[in-house]
Chains A and B, each alone.
Chain A
Amino acid sequence: MNIPKELKYSRDHEWVKIEGTRATIGITDFAQSQLGDVVFVELPAVGDEVAAGSGLAVIESVKAVSDIYAPLAGKVVETNELLADAPETVNQDAYGTGWIAVLEISDLPQPDALLDSEAYERLVGEGGQ
């Protein structure tokens, strides 16, 4: 299971890369493997304001519909339009070209709201619940 050290993680299996006031968000390798073949991604609109823990995107695999939550609060400033034509990118490169959206952070998350890679690895090791 690939869990990059430099990223932060939510308990809902999103990853976050914080650079200055911007946060890039995607789903983890564990999440994509559990979902199976991704066939559709419903992206948020640029300009949407999202609260921490609210719905950010919807990912559909062949069999299931899954909500992707915003790990922190912010305004959507970029979405990954590549996923409209190639949703399978989420499976192929979850931490890279399979990113979902970039938020301009409005509220920094509480110190314990996001997990580091070791804590996330323990969560996944316990079955991901």
Chain B
Amino acid sequence: MTARQTPLYEAHVRYGGRIVEFGGWLLPVQYAGILEEHKAVREKAGLFDVSHMGEVLVKGPDSLSFLQKLVTNDVARLAANQVQYTPMCYPDGGTVDDLLIYKRGNGEYFLVINAANIEKDWAWMQANSTGFQVELSNLSAATAELALQGPLAEAILSKLTDVDLQQLAYYWFLPEATVAGRPVMISRTGYTGEDGFEIYSRPEDAAYLWTAIMQAGEPYGLLPAGLGCRDTLRFEAALPLYGHELARDITPVEAGIGKFIAFGKGEFTGRAALAEQKQNKPQRRLAGLVVNGHGIARAGYPVMFQGQRIGTVTTGSYAPTLNKNIGLALIEAAYAGIGQQLAVEIRGKNVAAEVIGKPFYRRP
């Protein structure tokens, strides 16, 4: 399969992006440098191309009942123009994907899914829609998405739109707005641990919007930001990443995001398995680690206790805001208490580590 370009590919090259292949897409891993972009998002703002993300529109009289069965969170709690985060599980509790649900109105929901999971999710949703009066549309190719993230995001975006962004609360959206004169949907959501916005547009408007936002943001210190800092930012905020903290064989209960499972809403796929796991306490838990010795924990490295392997690092990195080497690791629950002394095996050596609280970073 040849890697696909987003509508912003040429803009990335023009802005000096170093292009890599990611989940079948050609995207910039960095421009100026991961650390500089990371800092810009924490202190000022960064602009990301997230057009590779998938989008599915769910329409029809049974939309709500279909989604209530499909995902673990309680979709009935959503008001129009509100956004919800939710896992989507298999009957055994393993995770199909994690997604955002935008309620556009009664009988109309817009789902944002992970790029690498688009085909799998689409097949899963189709197969599970039997018996429901719903119409599913895969809008992934017809939707571009920019993410403007950071404490100055509101000030920058306000220069380009007539809507009052101050009135837009966290996890709410504006279905019809304009940015630099182009029709967009704006949500106050994000994946960096900062305040920020996701801007959905037609693919043909994406490059124009990118340039307009970059120009408006220049006096504020806005930088174009790549996949590299997107990962270090979300990691410091301890937000789970599919394929790392969530997977076919990792449940949301194990990943510590049980608050997005609404056991009270009635039947949904995975309910029995997840309820049992919650009640009996999961055997594995996602823990935060700080590496106290010399070295950086990386995904896949063994986590050890007194010479025994008790788990695996799911994400590990230098954390730029904290200036520490930290990790998220799926480990036996008995060792997941804060303060527990452990080790991470780094290139054959056991390096001292300690369980610490999550998230590693919380916005001031």
* A and B bind: yes
Chain B 268-299, CB-CB to A under 8 Å as 1, else 0, gives 00000000000000000000000000111010
- Alpha-carbon gap, A63 to B294, bound state (A): 17
B296→A36 contact, CB < 8 A: no
Interface of A, secondary structure class, is strand
Which residue of the partner chain, among A58, A62, A65, contacts B34 with CB atoms under 8 Å?
A62
Closest residue of chain A to B317 (Cβ to Cβ) is: A62
Chain B 238-255, CB-CB to A under 8 Å as 1, else 0, gives 000000000000000000
- Alpha-carbon gap, A15 to B29, bound state (A): 26
Chain B 25-53, CB-CB to A under 8 Å as 1, else 0, gives 00001100111000000000000000000
Which residue of the partner chain, among A37, A39, A84, contacts B296 with CB atoms under 8 Å?
A39
- Alpha-carbon gap, A14 to B84, bound state (A): 50
CB of A40 within 8 Å of the partner chain: yes
B295→A63 contact, CB < 8 A: no
**A34-81 at interface with B (beta carbon < 8 Å):** 36-37, 39-40, 42, 58, 60-63, 65
Q: Could you tell me how many residues of chain B have their Cβ less than 8 Å away from some Cβ of chain A?
A: 18
CB distance from A78 to the nearest CB of B (A): 19
Closest residue of chain A to B318 (Cβ to Cβ) is: A39
- Indicate the member of A39, A63, A84 with the most B CB atoms within 10 Å: A63
Closest residue of chain A to B18 (Cβ to Cβ) is: A36
Q: A40 with B318: in contact, given A58-B347, A65-B298 (CB under 8 Å)?
A: yes
CB distance from A58 to the nearest CB of B (A): 7
- Alpha-carbon gap, A25 to B176, bound state (A): 59
B296→A63 contact, CB < 8 A: no
Contacts of A62 in B (CB 8 A): 34-35, 228, 232, 317-318, 320
Contacts of B231 in A (CB 8 A): 63
- Alpha-carbon gap, A65 to B299, bound state (A): 11
Contacts of B228 in A (CB 8 A): 36, 62-63
CB distance from A28 to the nearest CB of B (A): 17
CB distance from B232 to the nearest CB of A (A): 6
Contacts of A63 in B (CB 8 A): 29, 34, 228, 231, 317
Contacts of B295 in A (CB 8 A): 40, 42
CB of B192 within 8 Å of the partner chain: no
- Alpha-carbon gap, A122 to B283, bound state (A): 55
CB of B73 within 8 Å of the partner chain: no
Closest residue of chain B to A43 (Cβ to Cβ) is: B294
CB of B325 within 8 Å of the partner chain: yes
CB distance from A110 to the nearest CB of B (A): 29
Closest residue of chain A to B325 (Cβ to Cβ) is: A40
- Alpha-carbon gap, A106 to B231, bound state (A): 44
Contacts of B34 in A (CB 8 A): 36-37, 61-63
B33→A37 contact, CB < 8 A: yes
- Alpha-carbon gap, A58 to B351, bound state (A): 15
- Alpha-carbon gap, A20 to B295, bound state (A): 34
A40→B33 contact, CB < 8 A: no
A60→B296 contact, CB < 8 A: yes
- Alpha-carbon gap, A61 to B18, bound state (A): 15
Contacts of A84 in B (CB 8 A): 294
- Alpha-carbon gap, A36 to B317, bound state (A): 14
- Alpha-carbon gap, A36 to B296, bound state (A): 16
Residues in chain B within 8 A of chain A (CB atoms)? 18, 29-30, 33-35, 228, 231-232, 294-296, 298, 317-318, 320, 325, 347
**Known interface pairs A40-B295, A63-B317; 11 further A-B residue pairs with C-beta atoms within 8 A, sorted by A's residue number:** A36-B33, A39-B296, A40-B296, A40-B318, A60-B296, A62-B34, A62-B232, A62-B317, A62-B320, A63-B29, A63-B228
A-B contact list, 30 entries, CB within 8 Å:
A36-B18, A36-B29, A36-B30, A36-B33, A36-B34, A37-B33, A37-B34, A37-B35, A39-B296, A39-B318, A40-B294, A40-B295, A40-B296, A40-B325, A58-B347, A60-B296, A60-B318, A61-B34, A62-B35, A62-B228, A62-B232, A62-B317, A62-B320, A63-B29, A63-B34, A63-B228, A63-B231, A63-B317, A65-B298, A84-B294
Residues in chain A within 8 A of chain B (CB atoms)? 36-37, 39-40, 42, 58, 60-63, 65, 84
Closest 9 CB pairs of A and B: A39-B318, A62-B34, A37-B35, A60-B296, A37-B33, A40-B296, A63-B228, A37-B34, A36-B34
